[in-house]
Every structure is written in C-alpha cells, then in structure tokens.
Amino acid sequence: AELERLAADLRTAETAVAFTGAGISAPSGVPTFRGDDGVWEAFDEGQFTYDRFQRDPAGFWADRVELHRTMFDAEYEPNAAHDALAELNRDGHLEAILTQNTDGLHAKAATAARGNDSDGDDSSDGRESVEEAAEFSARETILELHGNARRVRCSDCGRREPMEPIVERAEDGELPPTCGCGGTYKPDVVLFGERLPETVLQRARSLARESDVFLAIGSSLVVEPAASLPRTAASNEATVGIVNLESTPVDSVADSCLQEDVTTALPRLQELVELS
Ligand code: OAD
C-alpha cells in the first residue's frame, strides 16, 4: 500500500527526484561502504583523503589501485533498480537522478533505456568518449555528486582519461601516474576533505527544494550532502520516500520507509507508475 501511495504521488508530481547511494549498486556486485562487508572495514578511509593525495601522491595511488581492484574488479552491469529509474526518467516521471555512486551505472542504464543510440558514435575508449561521457552525465539528468571512478583527471590541465589504463600503468610501477603535461592524475572523484563540485551541488540543492517527491534509495544517509538533501526536500513540503534495507537517521522526516531490496521495490514502483 505504501508503494501504491508513492506511485500515485509520483504520477501527479511535477518534479520528482531520485537520490541514490551504494545500496542501489550492491545487487550488481559493487560493495557498499558501511556495514560488515563494507569497503571501509577492509580499507582505512584516512588513506584516501585529498590531503594525502597532495602530500604523498605515490602512496595514495598505491592504495587507490588496491581499492579500485576491490570495488571495480568485474565488469559490473546495471541491475533492475537502475533500469527502473532510467525508464522512469526516460518516460518523464523523474526529473533527475542524483547519485553519490561513482560506478557510472546510472549512465549505463540510461543509455540502455534510450536504445543505445545516444549519439551514434560509440568508439569505446580514447579521450573523446571519456569527455563525452562526462558531458553526457552533466547534460542528461544524472548528477554524479561524487564524480566517476571510471575516469581520471589531470590535476593540472584537467584532461580526462579512462581509469583502467592508468591503473595498469600504476600497477606497472608508475607511481603516481602522470599526464603528458607533467601533472599528476587524480581519480575523477571527490576525495575525503575535497569539496563537491559547486555547480553540481547547487543543482542538487535546488532540485531538492523544488521537488514534490524525493526518493532516497540505497543510502545510509549519514554523510553530507546525503543527510541534508532529503531533509531539505521534506522541509519544502515534498513527499519523501526512503527505500533502504536498514533504517536511516532521516526516516523520522520521511512519509514512507520501505525496508526492501531495491531490485524488488523499484521495478514494482515503476510498474505501478506506468500502469495507470
Ligand atoms: P553506505 O554503504 O553508507 O550505505 C549503503 C546502504 O544501502 C546501507 O544502509 C544498506 O543497508 C543499503 N543497502 C545495501 N544493499 C541494499 C539493497 N540491495 N537494497 C536496498 N538497500 C540496500 O553507502 P552510501 O550511503 O552510498 O563517499 O555512502 C555515502 C558515501 O560515503 C559514499 O559515496 C562514499 C562513502 O564514504 C565518498 O567516497 C566520497
């Protein structure tokens, strides 16, 4: 019944926004950060700070390669939950998908939902396509608040490259890996102690303020801005729905809390929205 109410709210919403965290990618095999099997049990968060990247880029990259191999070991694919959101977005029921995830799976699901023909040009690696992918995320309605771990960016000239070849260079002993311009490559993600990109954050905040439905999905909602975006939506009269296996500190301001697996809840929600 809660799902039906949410579906009804989504159907009539003018601006509905989804906000996701690691839990939406867990069924694709990507590890989450917190909890017993979380990445921060095996790795020390303190090794991945912006400060360390600046002080000790070689040590940072040595550890980052290990983290990368743990988190992105396989060719992960979007799951039914990513697909459901991509289809709701494509069909005009979701204004935007805001994500804390850096795995790029929302963009991949969006491409699939749009019939793989985003631009016709699909030259798989090389610089053009990475830049294009970066722009694709910005242009489309997917906002990657923490960046994208499939790319690196030169900290001097800003050039972007796919992550995999750079990780291989680091594994072959190039520590830290550097750009042709001499600058050090940095994963194209927000590190601890680093500010979120201002334009993306502003857009996320204004979407949260404008939304009349705000869905928080697969996030523990304990770090910023995750903790405050749904609160902002709630204090602006939005209907707030939370889909997460465990309870969160934001549950008290939410209108409905579904403690369910994302891969069952979201396809059902989508079906209910599109059915009527
Ligand atoms: P967390 O690992 O903190 O939380 C993931 C949540 O997803 C947990 O509350 C799980 O209960 C839930 N979950 C797991 N599998 C699920 C499933 N199949 N269906 C529904 N829920 C499920 O991840 P985030 O909240 O995304 O930041 O973490 C936020 C940020 O903290 C990350 O972006 C990262 C991290 O440190 C940076 O790296 C900057």
Q: How distant, in Å, are the alpha carbons of 22, 47, 160, 220 from that of 177?
A: 28, 17, 13, 33
Contacts of 36 (CB under 8 A, 6+ apart): none
**Predicted structure pTM score:** 0.91
Q: What is the mean pLDDT of residues 103-120?
A: 79
14-40 tens-digit pLDDT: 999 999 999 999 999 999 999 888 999
Q: Which atom of ligand 1 is nearest to the CA of 248?
A: 9
- Ligand 1 centre to CA of 20 (Å) is 8
pLDDT digits (tens, 9 = 90+) for 51-72: 999 999 999 999 999 999 988 8
Ligand 1 mutation target, pool 145, 200, 220, 260, most atoms within 8 A of CB: 220
In this prediction, residue 127 carries a pLDDT of: 47
- Residues with a known catalytic role: 146
* Tens-place pLDDT, residues 229-275: 999 999 999 999 999 999 999 999 999 999 999 999 999 999 999 98
Which of 19, 37, 44, 100 best tests ligand 1's pocket when mutated (most atoms within 8 Å of CB)?
100
| Protein residues whose CB sits closer than 6 Å to any atom of ligand 1 | 21-23, 26-27, 32-34, 38, 100, 146, 190, 218-220, 223, 226, 244-246, 261-262
Give 31 Cα–ligand 1 centroid separation in angstroms: 9
Q: What is the ipTM of this complex?
A: 0.98
